[in-house]
Amino acid sequence: MAQRAKRYDLPVIAIAGTIGKDARVNFDYGIDSFSTILKEPCTLGEAIANSSDLLTYAAERVMRLIQVGQKLVVRQSNLAS
């Protein structure tokens, strides 16, 4: 999916349960950034039981960061004018 998005110059953010130590290899395949669904340490059972809520909160955090980036771009554009 990431490689397909790159054909259209679209950024790709992967939301995962956890991010492993070798996750950086995914940058070579079009992933631009990672975010984990976990807010704090928990058991696998807890993560599975709460996966829907955890994913929702992670997606909200990612979107809020995107909004911050957009505001920075607008601010820089206004300062350059």
pLDDT digits (tens, 9 = 90+) for 16-56: 998 888 999 999 999 999 999 998 999 999 999 999 999 99
pTM, rounded to two decimals: 0.77
Burial 27-50 (b: 16+ CB within 10 A, else e): eeebbeebeebbeeeeeeeeeeee
Asked if residues 40 and 58 have their Cβ atoms less than 8 Å apart, the reply is: no
pLDDT digits (tens, 9 = 90+) for 59-80: 999 999 999 999 998 887 888 8
The CA-based angle 15-16-19, given to 5 degrees, is 115
Terminal Cα-to-Cα distance of the chain (whole angstroms): 37
